[in-house]
Structure 1
Amino acid sequence: MAETYENAQGPTVPAVPCADPQGDPFLRTRFALPARPATFLRRQRLVDHLDQFRGTPLTLVNGAAGAGKTLLAADWAAGLPPPVAWLTVEVGDRRPGVFWAYVLQALRACGAPASDAVGVPADATGVDQRLLATLAAELNDRDRPVILVLDEYDRVTDLEVTDQLEFVLHHAGRGLHLVLVTRTEPLLPLHRYRAAGELTEIRAAELAFTPEETVALLELHGLSLPVSAARALVDRTRGWAAGLRLSALAALESADPELYLKEFEADRSTVADFLLAEVLKGQPEETQGLLLRVSVLERFCPDLANALTLRTDAEPILAGLHRDNAFVEHLGHAWYQLHPLFGEILRAHLRERLPGLEPELHRRAARWLRRSGFLPETLAHGAAAGDWDFAAGALVDDLAIGQLFTGLRSGDLTEFFSPMGPEARSAAADLVRAARDLSRYDLDRGLTRLRHAEEHLADDAPEPAAAQLSCALLEALAARLTGCPPQAEKAAERADELRQEVPAHLLDKHPELTALLLTHLGSARLWAGRFEDARAALTAAAGAPGGASTVLPREDSTEHLALLDYLNGWLGRAERKALAAVPEVERVGLPQPSGSGIGQLVLAAVAVDRHELGRAQALLDETARLPSGTRDPVMAAGRALATARLLSVRGKARAAVEAAAPAVAAAMASPWAAGYEALFAAAAHLAEGRPAEAAEMLQGVSGDQPTCAVEAAAIQVAAGRAGAAIDLLDSIRTGGRAGPAVTVRAALVRAQAAEGAGDTAAARRLVAHALLDARRERLRRPFLDAGAWIRPLLATPPLHELAAGWLTRGLPRHGEQPRPESSLSPPLVAVELSGRERDVLERLARMMSTEEVAADLYVSVNTVKTHLKSVYRKLAVNRRGDAVRRARDLRLL
């Protein structure tokens, strides 16, 4: 029994023991609240969470070393009313007698001593059950509960101590609130406390500093950091308190603290010393070896870790490290990752302790990842091992070479393979080099490397189907870029054969390959003037599955389809298709313009036909810097056509002739591109007073190209060759597929011929028909180009009414000289906007953001975006500035 002494007021109380059961004196520092440094940041959100302890008997603060657990608990405990008992657990407390002796002493130190009936442990290795029961009963009888904080509780590893603590906690009832501050999961039955709602928990994620808290912490250290920079620091440290504090202290010694915090080398800092001492060196040798080896990985699972360590025990080790908050983070589904700073330090330590092992670890990882189907990580580790043939082979064997052209990963893959040197000599390496060159429109080098790859593959037996199919894709692209449709057809046929030999799961995994092949084939057919065959391939590509992986070839195909519609005279359809791909491309985050740029050229050509010349010029300027414009024949021809049209309208006929020739060399001439070249040359001859030469230039234009034919017929009739013009129109065979741009021009040519023959009634009927067709498409250019003969007709009441509003404001009256282009009023178009769409449009004109518009109109941001899409569609634009300009032109603002 403990000695007693006479209290001044009479009753006797137990004497305070001065030593534990081993005879060692109690260390008073273990009962004192740890001092908070001047740079300590009180985080009210955590304090408020801890205050929930009043409703639960057990509180758990669980986090890694240096997470700020102890200072948080000490700061919170300092503000509580007594009695609050604090005990910092040490290794010796693993013995039950020592542990309970210190717990009883902590209660005495806080003014809540146990009675003489409880007694003291006499044996360091055990505790009398009666002592525990009496202590629990006395605590249960208290009017004011005792708060007992056990710091560093992870040092208690004896299951007997844990069972005894749970017994006392359970039977003490509301007389005891237990707070455990620990790095590891305590052995208490936490699941029961959680299920009963009797547990307050603060874990690593909540202990992490937020960017705003980081800014406040650094200010306490005398450092000023913007929230954006603090956010980057938090990402790197995961908001780890010790890492932030140690980094701040080191930054104070730097000439540029902000730069230091952004770029400090973790392995050469006090952070490294902390983590090596507190985390790594306390682990068994086999665990240290595992941590060092997995440090080369971004993420890992037990099987992958075993592949690197050549052991079989990674699973329990990793689970234990995560459970112990040893800077191993669980990602779910048995996958883990290292804390970023810990990973940096371990990699540096690996190079120091096991020099030369790192490439081999990357090699082992690459082979395991390739077998398991993780291509991006396979490539990363193959490259890190310097095994470029392996990395290229993995890309080709996975049928993933098309990703170099899809926009989503193409930039990353191009940069990834850029260090690959001549030591990589496999067919796969040459295929990757060829794809990289062709993606940059470097045809000479790309074709040379493609031939090398094909030679290598010819020597392989049997020829790998995935590599052959990759070759077919690159052949189709090369054929498209060199203007060689037969070669594209041959590549497509070969691809169809090879698809039967490639595993179906690879084709399903990479729909972008088929989409790209169809796009290249469709483009080559369009160049050849085989419009319906081109439409079939391009429509299939535009409807390809695959989501984000096929968005770029789908956009490219849709833009080609827009060009087909334009060449067939369907301006409205062409415009809608050119705009259709933009929303999805923006959604997946591709830059604008992201594809070939053909869509922008189609919009520019449509704008010329509608006499919106400023818009046409702006659209052309947007495509001027696209690399595809210098090597893709269809793109080059589209740009040549749109530019020549704009120059011709502006009265620069000779400049239009120079611009009309596509600025690329092609293996085969394109009939429609050649037809437009002839048209602009003939128009220039006619403008310069040489009608015979103009007619001569048109000899090669036939009815197979309807849009070229009707414009050629217009030149013929203007040159006084009405008969030849009508014969050319009669030769057109469209099968009902020609659009208003064809039918309107054809009607005007026939009307001019009729007027010249004295049949004014027929001319008036034909012009009326042309006005009706043109009004739907806002097609003004044919009437502006028609010449003086049409003005008297448009002045007659029936035709004047048909032209009123949308056409006649831009036309000179009969007898007037044509006004310069700059003075022509824009067309008046009937655009119906809802009231809410007008509200949104007006706020766009005031340069308000989407969020500001939503707040001003008291609607959601998504509602504003929906209205914006509708406004863009109705105004036939795809940008805010264009919407505002067009609305002003149309007098909607």
Structure 2
Amino acid sequence: MPRGAPVPGGPDPLGDPYLRTRFALPSRPGTFLRRDRLVEHLEQALLTPLTVVNGSAGAGKTLLVADWAANLGRPVAWLALDAAVEGPGMFWAHLLQSLNAAGVPAPTAVGFPADATRVPHTLLSRLAWALAGRDRPVTVVIDEFERMTDPEVGRQLEFVLRHARPGLRLVLVSRTEPLLPLHRYRLAGEMTEIRDAELAFTTEEAVDLLELHGLSLSVPVARALVERTRGWAAGLRLSALAARSTPDPERYLKEFEAGRSTIADFLLAEVLERQTPETQDLLLRISVLDRFCPELADELTRRRDAATILAALHRANAFVEDFGQGWYRLHPLFREILRAHLRQRAPGLEQELHRRAAHWLRRFGTLPEMLAHGAAAQDWTYMARALVEDLAIGQLFTGLGSVEPADWFAGMEGEAPDPSLNLVRAACELSRPALDGGLAHLRRAAEQLAADDRGSPAALLSCALLEALAGRLAGSAHQAERATRAARRLMPQLPSRLLDGHPELTALLLTHVGSARLWAGHRDEARAALTAVTRGPRTASTVLPRMEALEHLALVEHLDGRPSAAERKVFAMTAEAERYGLAQPSGSGLGQLVLAAVALDRDEADRAEALLARTSDQPPPDPVTAAVRRAVTAGVLLARGRTREALAVAARPVPAAEASPWAQGRAALAASEAHLAEGRPDAAVEVLRQVVGELPECTVGAARAHLAAGDPGTALRLLDGLAAHGSAGPGVLVPAALVRAQAAALEGDTATARRMVAQALAEGRREELRRAFRAAGPWIAPFLAEPPLRASAAGWLVPESESYGGTERDGRGTGPGAPVEQLSGREREVLERLARAMSTEDIAADLFVSVNTVKTHLKSAYRKLSVHRRNDAVRRARELRLL
């Protein structure tokens, strides 16, 4: 029988024949893709009285259910509704006819409706009774159920479904929520549901679908297409059909204009043109928005009907998604098409809509959204004044997520006659950071604010905040302090409500001045300012300043010689990031560098190098971070024995307006250690001469250098001066005790040496400060081999199973765990060739050096390894994992 021909069985209640197309399973095209995960989910329809497949137009609902029904292996009554099937009588007449067409007719006693507008209740009761008595349940699929808008039909259908158990399995395919009490079935666990999110194609499914259309695409291209269409079945199929006729399908799918495609034709016909003029106007206008609520939509339409229209569109699955709290968004592809249609239908309106949205969002929305729409409207002055007068300029640094502040104002060109514009431009430059450009705009803004009394307290406070940041970036504590004092004078002039609404402003100000103070070496003042940030309001807008404050406090702890306290501060910063859903601790990378410095203190060079690598993809934003990166880089190179490179790194200047005592001291200390590793103690003494007395760690380094140069008296006098630094932690006290111990050992005072080593072990054990012991030299081995001290070293300085046993005739320990002075890079190269049984002459030829040079390196390596023979040197180096 031809498709669409009348079905035998008499006319419907209006006297028209039943058309076959309403009862026939739709045919599946050759490009149809069966998706097993959805078929498996549909199998549950055989176990629950009700199944709802609910999705937008073109989501693939009908073909999914039709394919499942065709392979079910049992009769399925199929009914496709259309505009002609209207009213209870017509609906039930067609449903009964669908049973007839499927070969499961209802008993004659049930009867047929004679009136298109009503149906006798007895017919419903008899039908339910007949179905309930069946041996096997009958499956009824009603497609396009959204066309049935009569609530009476919903009540009648629910009555039959409830009383036909267990003889009826009802499957409703619909764009809208069916007019049945679905909540009851959900609560009872008697409903199977498949909705838009599940109907969406995955990337893997999209690849298979495109292959059925003759397109073999890479996974990234398919993934991008899925993201753009949200896995919408019709969008994928229409895209594939269009791409297939182009010479470069992959490029087409990357670049096609949604507004000029078969997808646009489909959505405009199936969704937009079905709507009333008012709804069409609303959809076109809200297409400029990423998200919207009824009030914002009303602002764009200048009407008051958005709430009703949006709720109806969402119920109708008309590509309007509700994501809670009264906010909606459009399907991205539908939005793209609507925007293209808006430009055609109303040229010039788009910019005005963005302007309206920006003004509304300033009052009721979020700052990023306001800026986005202000930028789209090119309303630069309004945006800048809003940021400044609302005291929101700090959020350019704290509240915009992954968006760079400069991105919002990228389209702004020419001179900025308004001070707010220059302040915003300065903020954009400083956020990069681009100090010179930021200072130029900042000076211009300050001049404009000073002229004609145009400087409101909010503008002047914004200017002071940026001045403090500029001082931090320039390494000028004086500039940062001056700006902070100015800001404090201005704050009482502003409404407390405004200040309380922007706690990030104070947090940023204190972070900037704290960092500048730290650069200048004022650790106590820096700690006070930074601690105030961490104890301030804990809000989303202050999370980034709090994280920066914590990593700077971690640096203070590290400089004071307290590695565990430094670690805890960095871990607190990471916890802060996790609490607010930040994927990675953001910021300058200073926290990672502090952890790397701690790893070096613990003789964990591999970990230090890995942490350093995490920060190498971006230039340091300020002198503090640059100085720490320089010190850590030099330390890693020293740990690898690359002394020449370490010296070069330590000599690199860190540009800053004012000198930093600790930054200079750390660089000198790294250079001194490099000279000592190369056997040049006089050079080590000289490089630290300028910074001795400034920093405890440099004093200890100088004492060690003097001792290596044969001047124990000066070494001890320097250490005696450490008493003035009462705040020094284990990172300073441990190496100081070891220098005293070595001096005592050289004088033959073994009791004092033993006592100082014990003191160093007690302090170092808590912090696991292995590096100081490794660098101490071979003299320490016999002390660590003694049972009391060996017990203190076991488990952290060496594994529990190892001990410091055995001594050579000269009294130097050779136990497997004895710490050694760091080998230079050339000494390692010589040892590696020694391990390959190469002769001294062969090593010299391989390294292009003289035999005497090789012998000099061997002598130094033997001393550091506390051995006298080749075989012992190779064995010892392997035990220490140097080979």
Name the amino acid aligned to 2:308. P
Pick one of 252, 267, 276 that aligns with 2:244. 252
Q: Which amino acid aligns with 2:728?
A: A
d(CA) in 1 for partners of 2:424, 2:806: 55
Contact 1:752 1:763 in 2 (8 A): no
Match of 1:821 in 2: 824
Change (3 A) 1:216 1:774: same
SS in 1 for 2:67: helix
Alignment counterpart, residue 319 of structure 2, candidates 327, 330, 349: 327
Structure 1 423/93 Cα, relative in aligned 2: closer, same or farther at 3 Å? farther
Whole-angstrom CA distance in 2 between matches of 1:95 and 1:483: 80
Gap change, CA 1:184 and 1:890, over 3 Å in 2: same
- Matched to 1:632, the amino acid is D
Aligned pairs (5 A) from 1:553-568: 553-568=545-560
Aligned position for 2:426: 434
Seen in structure 2, the aligned counterparts of structure 1 residues 433 and 141 have a Cα distance that, compared at 3 Å, is same
- Alignment partner, residue 527 of structure 2: 535
CA distance in 2, matches of 1:766, 1:636: 39
Bigger drift between 793-802 and 400-409 goes to: 793-802
Structure 1 alignment gaps of length 5 or more: 1-14, 826-887
CA distance in 2 between partners of 1:664 and 1:326 (Å): 59
* Residue 313 of structure 1: how far off its partner (Å): 0.8
Change in CA separation of 1:760 and 1:70 when aligned onto 2, cut-off 3 Å: closer
Q: Distance in 2 between matches of 1:803 and 1:197?
A: 65
Counterpart among 695, 707, 711 of residue 705 in structure 1:
695
1:526 to 477, 496, 518: 518
SS of residue matched to 2:697: helix
**1:427-452 residue CA offsets vs partner (Å, 9 max, x unmatched):** 33323322232233322111111222
Q: Does 1:449 align with 2:449?
A: no
| Residues 298 and 306, structure 2, Cα contact 8 Å, conserved in 1 | yes
Aligned partner of residue 342 in structure 1, secondary structure: helix
User: Which of 34, 42, 54 lines up with 2:26 in the alignment?
Assistant: 34
Does the alignment pair 1:474 with 2:488?
Answer: no
Deviation of 1:395 (Å): 4.0
Q: Indicate the larger mover: 146-155 or 486-495.
A: 146-155
Hey, what does 2:377 align to over in structure 1? 385
| Cα distance in 1 for residues equivalent to 2:219 and 2:631 | 51
Secondary structure of 1:281's partner? helix
Judged with a 3 Å threshold, the aligned counterparts in structure 2 of structure 1 residues 211 and 568 are, in CA distance, closer, same or farther, namely closer
1:324 Cα deviation from its structure 2 partner: 1.6
Paired residue type of 2:296: L
Distance 1:287 1:501, change over 3 A: same
Q: Which amino acid aligns with 1:670?
A: S
Partner in structure 1 of residue 330 of structure 2: 338
Whether the 8 Å CA contact 2:82–2:144 is kept in 1: the answer is: yes
2:199 maps to what in 1? Answer: 207
Report the CA distance between 1:279 and its aligned residue.
1.2
Residues 548/153 of structure 1: CA separation in 2 closer, same or farther (3 Å cut): closer
How far has the Cα of 1:129 moved from its partner?
6.6
* Paired residues, number: 814
Aligned to 1:517: 509
Report matched runs for 1:292-331 at 5 Å. Answer: 292-331=284-323
CA contact (8 A) 1:672 1:708 kept: no
> 1:632 aligned to 2:635?
no
Which residue matches 1:68? 60
Does the Cα contact within 8 Å between 1:63 and 1:69 map onto a contact in 2? yes
Question: How far apart in 2 are the matches of 1:536 and 1:217?
Answer: 62
Matches of 1:238 and 1:24, distance apart in 2? 42
Q: How does 1:642-657 map to 2 (within 5 A)?
A: none
Give, in whole Å, the separation in 2 of the partners of 1:651 and 1:744.
23
59-68 vs 542-551, which deviates more? 542-551
Instruction: Work out the CA distance in 1 between the residues paired with 2:51 and 2:636.
Output: 76
Provide the residue aligned with 2:356 in structure 1.
364
Deviation digits for residues 316-372 of structure 1, max 9, x if unmatched? 111111112222122122222112221111111111111111111111111212211
Change in CA separation of 1:348 and 1:684 when aligned onto 2, cut-off 3 Å: closer
C-alpha separation in 2, matches of 1:35 and 1:690: 89
Deviations 1:220-274 (A, max 9, x none): 3333456665444333323332222222222322334344444433222211111
Say which SS state the counterpart of residue 234 (structure 2) adopts: helix
The 5 A counterparts of 1:128-139 are none
C-alpha deviation, 1:521, in angstroms: 1.9
For residues 147 and 297 of structure 1, the distance between their equivalents in structure 2, rounded to whole angstroms, comes to 44
Alpha carbons of 1:128 and 1:447: their partners in 2 closer, same or farther (altered >3 Å)?
A: same
Gap runs ≥5 in structure 2 = 1-6, 799-803, 813-819, 829-877
Residues 766, 625 of structure 1: CA spacing in aligned structure 2 closer, same or farther, 3 A cutoff?
farther
The answer for the alignment partner of 1:669 in structure 2 is 659
Distance 2:173 2:701 in 1: 86
Pairing partner for 1:272 from 264, 268, 274: 264
Kindly indicate whether the alpha-carbon contact (under 8 Å) linking 1:119 and 1:131 is maintained by their aligned counterparts in 2: yes
- Aligned pairs for 1:491-890 within 5 A: 491-500=483-492, 512-541=504-533, 546=538, 552-570=544-562, 573-574=565-566, 581=573, 595-598=587-590, 626-628=618-620, 632-639=622-629, 641=631, 660=650, 663-673=653-663, 703=693, 705-713=695-703, 729-734=719-724, 736-743=726-733, 746=736, 760=749, 764=753, 768=757, 771-772=760-761, 775-776=764-765, 820-822=823-825
Q: Write the distance in 1 (CA, Å) between the matches of 2:258 and 2:587.
A: 42
Residues 217 and 623 from structure 1, CA distance in 2 versus in 1: closer, same or farther, beyond 3 angstroms? closer
Q: 1:11 corresponds to which residue?
A: none
Shifted more, 154-163 versus 579-588: the winner is: 579-588
Offset at 1:510?
Answer: 5.4
Distance in structure 1 (CA, Å) of the matches to 2:232 and 2:674 = 74
8 Å Cα contact 2:55-2:176 kept in structure 1:
yes
Partner of 2:842: none
CA distance in 1, matches of 2:248, 2:455: 58
**What's the secondary structure of 1:451's corresponding residue?**
helix
Conserved 8 A contact 1:296-1:347: yes
What SS does the aligned partner of 2:329 have?
strand
- Amino acid of the residue matched to residue 323 of structure 1? R
Tell me the CA shift for residue 285 of structure 1: 0.6
Instruction: Find the aligned partners of 2:55 and 2:302 in 1 and give their Cα distance.
Output: 31
Q: Which residue of 1 aligns with 2:232?
A: 240
Q: Return 284-293 or 386-395, whichever deviates more.
A: 386-395
Distance 1:177 1:801 in 2: 79
Cα distance in 2 for residues equivalent to 1:572 and 1:193: 58
| 143-152 or 337-346: bigger deviation | 143-152
Partner residue, 1:849: none
State the alpha-carbon separation in 2 of the partners of residues 498 and 283 from structure 1. Answer: 55
152-161 or 761-770, which deviates more: 761-770
Which is further off, 220-229 or 649-658? 649-658
The alpha-carbon distance between structure 1 residues 736 and 251, as it changes in their structure 2 partners (threshold 3 A), is: same
Pair 1:420-2:412 in alignment: yes
Q: What amino acid is the match of 2:373?
A: H
Aligned match of 1:291: 283
Structure 2 CA distance for partners of 1:321 and 1:823, relative to 1, 3 Å: same
Please report how far the alpha carbon of residue 718 of structure 1 lies from its aligned counterpart in structure 2 after TM superposition: 7.0
- Which stretch of the first structure deviates more once superposed, 172-181 or 469-478? 172-181
Tell me the alpha carbon deviations over residues 651-678 of structure 1, each in whole angstroms, 9 at most, x when there is no partner: 9999988755662343333344455677
User: What is the CA-CA distance between 1:681 and the residue it aligns to?
Assistant: 9.2
Partner amino acid, structure 1, of 2:480 = A
SS in 2 for 1:420: coil
Provide the TM-score with structure 2 as the length reference: 0.76
Give, in whole Å, the separation in 2 of the partners of 1:93 and 1:767.
99
Distance 2:691 2:712 in 1: 16
Does the aligned pair in 2 maintain the 1:440–1:627 contact within 8 Å?
no
